[in-house]
Structure 1
Amino acid sequence: MTAQHPGPVLVYAPDRGIGDLMWHLPTFRAIAATTPEGQVVLVARPSSRAAEVLAVEPTIASVIYARHFTGSLKGVKEVLDFWRICREVKPRAVWILEKIGRPAQAAWLAGVPERRGFGLGHKSQEQWLQGPFLPKAMRPDHRLTKLAAFEALHGLKVDSREPGLLLDPKAVAAVKARFDDRPGPWLVLGVGASEPARTWPAERFAAASQALADLFPTVFWLGGPGDVARIKPTLDAQPMAGRDVLTCDLPLDQAAALIALSAGFLGNDSGPLNVAASVGRPAIGLMGTSPVPAYSRWFSRLDGGEGRIADISVDQAVSAVRTRFTQEEWANRDIRAA
């Protein structure tokens, strides 16, 4: 930090999902490690729920939400919004983990001395930033590939792509207080998703739960409040009363704690799936459109084909869980005693 530019380092991650946030965690930490404070200020979309997910992450000093605009003046509004953020925070540097030009222009207009970004041959961004930039040929690559290349390009040290999400001890205690009388090992079913093409049918989750009754005495159905009406009739029809538990009311920090305290996770391609891998729980993802790469050693995929998550059968899902349960000895870990 210099006397001329005493402000913080700002990192802008405009992706909208919780899963996207998890992929970026190693990059956030690597940028923070280059600063004397060991911290950055994160600018993210409200839908990422970054302030909740990263509440106890020591490398994130604070989270600021950049609004998502629509309509004909979207570009102008986004420039003005990020310009406002930069003027209020007064950062000495901005790292833009995307190719878009609007925040780069806003940072330049706000007089931020150091401005970094992907580039990827987009002159609308590169004209406002200092290089080096990712090459245009990398535009089709997955975000995880781009992040790794960007880190190497800027000398950022990343030892592992594992997110290693930290849990709030208060959230862990709350989950234990509520559910610790439930017999284990526990299995979490991630039944929520952002769109139908990423949603495995509720009746298949029910069938998978029944087929795994010999392994898991308790199965939690984890989604959001908006999933309850779709899921509850199927769950209520389950033959073993009380074994399947609806947990769509949990706040995000407690949902992460529940996953971490469970033996494993089976679920849709959604935020909780990425959270499961991020907290080091064996996670089997049911993939539909744009399947996520198996970026974590905790994460394995069942791919029903592009846009065809319904092609994944109950037998395939059950077999995947049984195989990993046996190979990784999920039942031998007394997770809740940790």
Structure 2
Amino acid sequence: MTGPVLIYAPDRGIGDLMWHLPTIRAIAATTPEGQVVLVARPSSRAAEVLKVEPSVARVLYAPHYKDKLKGVRETLDFFRLCKAETPRAVWILEKIDRPAIAAFLAGVPERRGFGLGHGQERFLSKGPYLPKSMRPAHRIDKLAAFEAAHGLAVASREPALKLDPQAVEAVKARYAGHPGPWLCLGIGASEPARTWPAERFAETARQVADLFGTVFWVGGPHEAEIARAAIGDLPNNIVACDLPLDQSAALIALSAGFLGNDSGALNVAAAVGTPCVGLMGTAPVPAYSRWLTRLDGGEGRIGDITVDQAVQAVRARFAAETWGNSDA
């Protein structure tokens, strides 16, 4: 049978993409070519993040709409995509029915999805489906259950993100003169409730200066000015908010440790095997990786996390794990 295997992953964040990597690889491993075509949201930046991922042949983007016709538009978009790609199978890593309807109408012979007792099940060709009782479960738990139900071999939940060697060399060259060990501070987040105050990051950096030769502030371009203002005259603190995504991942991988908000950068840190402490606010990510520990605010209030707690968490792991710069 010709045509690729498509995986539809509609979550919008980079962190969500990291959680899905073991499942994506497991599905790819069931195909003769060992690869799939991933359909993802543009905000996941999957084409950049997975540029050197061997299990993903290509990334196609499915826009996320917010208007009243979003359901119709998303169904039509995926229908057109299926007609153009003529996939032999579509795996939908969610419960939504729009891609299932589109794949059905496009004549895709094999259609699998979460189900979860939703209308999606009527348009799938192959079960088993996740039970309705799993609707409140975290996405990682749903993925694990889905893998088990479909006989997918997943030895570890670690994303083990592949790094672009050219990006690694570019980062090494750019920061060759900065002493180690390096610490990355992930100051970005998708919403205020997940954002620890920048001045607390600065005070934390000051209090762990005896452990780290250089502290890099990682975030989006719009966070660069916030970082510069918070750093002030702190020595050996570098704003690294202008790096492209592949180089940002490389910098995190080359660092001894990471402290940051519940964000894509935190999940990238876990995915590249950098010891990381996550500052958790609303809907905190579980400690799904051996590299990740959580520091929780009270009742989802990230502002309740103190500088002393963050410093203690970094110092404890630094001592216990003898952090040093990576040889990535």
- How does the TM-score come out when normalised to structure 2? 0.98
Is 1:306 the counterpart of 2:299 in the alignment? Answer: yes
1:282 to 275, 278, 291: 275
Give the Cα separation in 2 of the matches to 1:114 and 1:248.
43
Is 1:46 the counterpart of 2:39 in the alignment? Answer: no
| Distance apart, 1:176 and its partner CA | 0.4
In the other structure, the counterpart of 1:126 is: 121
Paired residues for 1:10-21 under 5 Å = 10-21=6-17
In the other structure, the counterpart of 1:329 is: 322
Q: Secondary structure at the match of 1:267?
A: strand
2:180 to 184, 197, 210: 184
In the other structure, the counterpart of 1:217 is: 213
In the other structure, the counterpart of 1:71 is: 67
Paired residues for 1:103-122 under 5 Å = 103-122=99-118
Does the CA contact (< 8 Å) of 1:206 and 1:238 recur in 2?
Answer: no
Does the CA contact (< 8 Å) of 1:291 and 1:306 recur in 2?
Answer: no
Give the Cα separation in 1 of the matches to 2:68 and 2:82.
24
In structure 1, runs of 5+ residues without a counterpart are none
In the other structure, the counterpart of 2:139 is: 143
Per-residue CA distance 1:186-216 (angstroms, 9 max, x = gap):
0000011111100000000000000001000
In the other structure, the counterpart of 2:191 is: 195
Is 1:273 the counterpart of 2:266 in the alignment? Answer: yes
Give the Cα separation in 1 of the matches to 2:137 and 2:26.
21
Per-residue CA distance 1:79-99 (angstroms, 9 max, x = gap):
000001101111000000000
| Distance apart, 1:232 and its partner CA | 1.8
Give the Cα separation in 1 of the matches to 2:300 and 2:184.
24
Per-residue CA distance 1:4-42 (angstroms, 9 max, x = gap):
xx0000000000000000000000000000000000000
Per-residue CA distance 1:49-90 (angstroms, 9 max, x = gap):
000000000000000000111211111101000001101111
**Residue identity opposite 1:89 in structure 2:** E
Does the CA contact (< 8 Å) of 1:186 and 1:263 recur in 2?
Answer: yes
Q: Secondary structure at the match of 1:28?
A: helix
Q: Secondary structure at the match of 2:258?
A: strand
Closer/same/farther in 2, CA of residues 111 and 15 from structure 1, 3 Å limit = same
1:253 to 246, 249, 261: 246
State percent identity of aligned pairs. Answer: 71
Q: Which segments of structure 1 move beyond 4 Å, counting only runs of 4 or more?
A: none
Q: Secondary structure at the match of 2:300?
A: coil
Does the CA contact (< 8 Å) of 1:222 and 1:248 recur in 2?
Answer: yes
Aligned length: 327
**Residue identity opposite 1:127 in structure 2:** R
304-313 vs 245-254, greater mean Cα deviation? 304-313
In the other structure, the counterpart of 1:24 is: 20
Is 1:88 the counterpart of 2:84 in the alignment? Answer: yes
Give the Cα separation in 2 of the matches to 1:177 and 1:53.
21
| Distance apart, 1:128 and its partner CA | 0.1
Q: C-alpha root-mean-square deviation of aligned residues, in Å?
A: 0.8
